[in-house]
Amino acid sequence: MSALSPAIDRFETDYAAARRSARRVNVVSTALFSICFLAAAWMGGFLDMTEVTLATGERVSMWKIWAGLPRLGEYLHKTLPVLHWETLGADLGSWFWRWKVWLRLLVETILIAYMATLLGIVGAFLLSFPASRNLAPNAVVLNLTRRYLEILRTVPDLVWALIFVFCFGVGPLAGVLAIGFHATGALGKLYSEANENADMRPVEGIRASGGSWFDQVRYGIVPQVIPNIISYTVLRFEINVRSSSIIGFVGAGGLGQEIRVSMSLQEYTDLSALFLIIFAAVIVIDTVSEKMRHRIIGLTGKGV
């Protein structure tokens, strides 16, 4: 059909076939995505309409999101405090009127995060060795520990909190255990990955000179993974501070309780004050922990 060499002809037909199959994949995946999107939009109430009364008293049907936007603006506007330059001190005073209670709760929030991180470190450190492929004594132990850690981290900390509030009563203890459980699962995974990436030659050396499993882990693995472990843990502490600030919603201590109360009492400006307090605390912890992490990594000369 053409005067060109058969090789070029073959290329043309192959190229056309490749284009056709790529187009087919594109059409099918776009169709699948659209179906998923529409199904999700329908299930999520995204397409719902709602009845709205206009300023003229007329009732019209409106897209739900469109109708909610003005209410959202109104709500956010209400959380802004009224501040005047002349009476700034007094205005700030009335904005942060419960600062003594909030400060105490902020300390409680941070302490919950601290204790939960501690719990997470201990649990995850002990479980990470049987959960790493290169150290587990046998496949049964490996799989059991891994599944256990997976369950711990798949169940959200708020659900653990609901369960522990029932078991241990309302208060920070339930929060510590809830976040601690979740942190054990999350840290356990990271620690065991660090163990798996460790160099096995020191371990073999210890085994060759007659060291037990415990000796192999203690002197072969732990010194290698400590910098990684510390770095992961410091990051986890930050996450735990955020979690413990909302865990009070279900009665597990910390600032969350206060957020809930001011929401139900419609103390709007309290919300912005609480948000600022948590935001400031998280920024401070972020900065300090980043410094600490760099220092620790610098000291041991090993980065993550």
Residues near other proteins (CB under 8 A): 36-37, 39-41, 43-46, 48, 50, 64-65, 68-69, 71-72, 75-76, 108, 111-112, 114-115, 118, 150-151, 154-156, 158-159, 162-164, 166-169, 171-173, 176, 242, 245-246, 249-250, 253, 259, 263, 275, 279, 282
Q: Which is nearer to other proteins, 44 or 210 (CB)?
A: 44
Give me 107's structure tokens: 């300390």
Question: Any residues with CB less than 8 A from the CB of 249 and at least 6 apart, and which?
Answer: 158, 256, 257, 259, 260
Q: Which is nearer to other proteins, 117 or 216 (CB)?
A: 117
Minimum distance from residue 10 beta carbon to other proteins (Å): 25
Place of tokens 């049964």: 140
Burial tier of 228 (Cβ tally within 10 Å: 0-12, 13-18, 19+)? buried
Minimum distance from residue 34 beta carbon to other proteins (Å): 11
Count how many Cα atoms sit within 13 Å of the Cα of residue 138 in the half-sphere of its side chain: 1
Minimum distance from residue 15 beta carbon to other proteins (Å): 19
Q: Which is nearer to other proteins, 165 or 203 (CB)?
A: 165
Q: Which is nearer to other proteins, 44 or 57 (CB)?
A: 44
Minimum distance from residue 171 beta carbon to other proteins (Å): 7
- What 3-state class would DSSP assign to 252? coil
Contact call for residues 281 and 110 (beta carbons, < 8 A): yes
Burial tier of 77 (Cβ tally within 10 Å: 0-12, 13-18, 19+)? exposed
Q: Which is nearer to other proteins, 15 or 37 (CB)?
A: 37
Strand pairing partners for 60?
52
Minimum distance from residue 280 beta carbon to other proteins (Å): 10
